[in-house]
Amino acid sequence: MWLAVAGEVCLVIALGLCAWRCGRLRPEARTPFWPLLLAGALAFIAINAATGALRYAGVDAVVPLHLQLTTVSVGWMMPLYLVAALRIWGKLPGKVLACWLVLALLPAVSALPGLLRDAMLVLALLRLLQQAPARLNLTQALALLLAVPLSSLLPLGEDAALGLFHLLLAGHFYAFYRAVAVLCATRLASKKAQ
């Protein structure tokens, strides 16, 4: 399962870069809470990816932990990552943001299918794409996130499918990492112009 391990390691690196850059946003943000929430969600997903790397490297003792962390990452941390990004850069009113968050988190607390959550994640990236000057990087992030389900549809072995799945996710987070630099530079430039 070395391809799965390599994919998870790439994902840990991309998430670590994202969390580091987003954790440094505090002075630039309207409120320091949202950048910390963004960095925390990304760090949690990175911890999950690290346990996944251990799991696919053959450490069977971490399998239950990885399964639990995956449930929390997919159900809670991915929506929190995007709601924090929307709050910082998406220019959404608070009530719209609250409705979005409730809809994105419903599959985590009810029997609703995860398709609703996935649709909300895509809508969040589209909103960021609409508002942001970092369109190329956000377009790449969206395309890579939309390509993630392809890893299960392609006729690949389990190792290659898991490796591709995690490499596509790593690419998504790396593209977001690159977009954060542009988003922050634009925000600082607009503050200096005022």
- pLDDT, tens only, 152-179: 888 888 889 999 999 999 999 999 898 8
d(CA 67, CA 52): 9
Number of separate domains in the chain: 1
Closest C-alpha to 189, from 28, 21, 30, 24: 28
If pLDDT is split at 50, 70 and 90, which confidence band does 112 have?
Answer: low
Would you say residue 13 has pLDDT above 80? yes
If pLDDT is split at 50, 70 and 90, which confidence band does 146 have?
Answer: confident
Task: Name the percent of the chain lying above pLDDT 70.
Answer: 86
Q: Identify the pLDDT of residue 74.
A: 87
Q: Identify the pLDDT of residue 165.
A: 92
Q: Identify the pLDDT of residue 96.
A: 77
- Cα angle vertex 158, ends 68, 112, to 5°? 45
* DSSP string of 21-86, one letter each residue: HHHT-GGGSSSTHHHHHHHHHHHHHHHHHHHHHHHHTT-GGGHHHHHHHHHHIIIIIHHHHHHHHI
Would you say residue 189 has pLDDT above 70? no
Q: Which domain holds residue 185?
A: 2-193
Q: Which residues contact 110 (CB under 8 A, 6 or more apart)?
A: none
